[in-house]
Structure 1
Amino acid sequence: MKIYHMLATAAIVAVPFVSCKTNEANYKAAYEAVKEKTETDSGIEGTIYEKIRKESVNSHTVIGRDTVPTVTVAVKCVKGVSLPADVKSYNIAVAQFKQVFNARSLMERLRGYGYNTATLVETAEPLYYVIAVTTDSAEEAGAAYEIVKADKRVFSKTPYPLLLRPQRYPLAE
């Protein structure tokens, strides 16, 4: 009788450990359900930000023998930092930030490095572009691009530096 009692106790204890195993299929089904719900609930397609992103044009500009990555986007001046006269039609952008504090910090460092025309512009999203050099001619922009790209003090992540062309020029305040 004791043996049957021990076997019954062992079986009762063992059942939860062997009967309800989670496996990869369970995790995958739960992940797919959450992913589908997130995609349908995000609604990013209908937002103004998606429209702004679609309006920006990524391309390449050939300047002399070089091909410079280019983005054409609607930008405006950052209040208290830049004026419409500070931003010309060809701008070498070295970074993009979501917070104006970070963008201003990099702009000040660039000015300390000798980039006296360094300034900021913002999109409607708002994203802040840090511009190291701004010029009126494509040739000057090409030369400035090479200088900024070669400058080790200006650390830029891919795809920066790039040529930023405002969609509407001259800029409004």
Structure 2
Amino acid sequence: MKKSLILLSVAIAMTGMVGCKPTEKNYQAAYDVAKKKRQASDALDAELGIPSGGLINTDGPMLHVVHGDSVYVKMDRIRMLESSSGKLQQYNVVVGSYKMNTNCVAQVEDLCSKGYSAFGVMNADRVYYVIAGSFPTLEEAAAFDTLFQRKERGQVYPGLNGKPVIIMRP
């Protein structure tokens, strides 16, 4: 009785294993579906200006490609500091981020002495940004961003990830 029960269970297990055998046709169908999803994703990335296959950062500056140049863009509500003079426009090239107003003012003065129309701004979280240039279009801001990086090669970008960020006003 035990032998027949063991043989019966082995036979059932063997038929179950043979029935689940994947075929080349199934693999090909799954591959084709995955390939179509990838192509659709790449097309959307290209449309949005995101590097192909790149991760999308939703809580910080997002990488955009403008006329072949890569720039970081972030949307934030900012307002001018009382001590600053300048014109705040739609796209603002940020070269420093501080928690203290005095540090922001010091970098603004340094940039003004170099000939830039720099000024300071603040957001709702009391983060102080140093704006090196303010522009009505993203293209102009991106061009200034690239030019600034070439002119100021040794520049450190405090509070930023080693590169200027363009803040877009909502």
Provide TM-score, normalisation by structure 2: 0.58
Post-superposition shift, 1:57? Answer: 5.3
Partner Cα separation in structure 2 for residue 152 and residue 56 of structure 1: 28
Instruction: Give the structure 1 partner of residue 64 of structure 2.
Output: 61
For 1:80, give the aligned amino acid: S
Instruction: Give the structure 1 partner of residue 88 of structure 2.
Output: 87
Instruction: Give the structure 1 partner of residue 20 of structure 2.
Output: none
- Are 2:143 and 1:140 equivalent residues in the alignment? no
* Among candidates 48, 54, 78, match of residue 75 of structure 1: 78
Instruction: Give the structure 2 partner of residue 149 of structure 1.
Output: 149
In the alignment, structure 2 segments of 5+ residues that lack a partner are: 1-57
Instruction: Give the structure 2 partner of residue 45 of structure 1.
Output: none
3-state DSSP of counterpart to 1:103: helix
Partner Cα separation in structure 2 for residue 78 and residue 102 of structure 1: 13
Q: Number of residue pairs matched?
A: 110
Partner Cα separation in structure 2 for residue 156 and residue 80 of structure 1: 22
Partner Cα separation in structure 2 for residue 67 and residue 146 of structure 1: 9
Partner Cα separation in structure 1 for residue 123 and residue 147 of structure 2: 26
Partner Cα separation in structure 1 for residue 64 and residue 79 of structure 2: 22
- Are 2:110 and 1:112 equivalent residues in the alignment? no
Post-superposition shift, 1:82? Answer: 3.9
Post-superposition shift, 1:120? Answer: 1.0
CA-based RMSD of the aligned residues comes to: 2.0
Q: Percent identity?
A: 24
Partner Cα separation in structure 1 for residue 137 and residue 155 of structure 2: 22
3-state DSSP of counterpart to 1:144: helix
Contact 2:78 2:121 in 1 (8 A): yes
In the alignment, structure 1 segments of 5+ residues that lack a partner are: 1-54, 168-173
Partner Cα separation in structure 2 for residue 143 and residue 162 of structure 1: 13
Instruction: Give the structure 1 partner of residue 40 of structure 2.
Output: none
Provide TM-score, normalisation by structure 1: 0.57
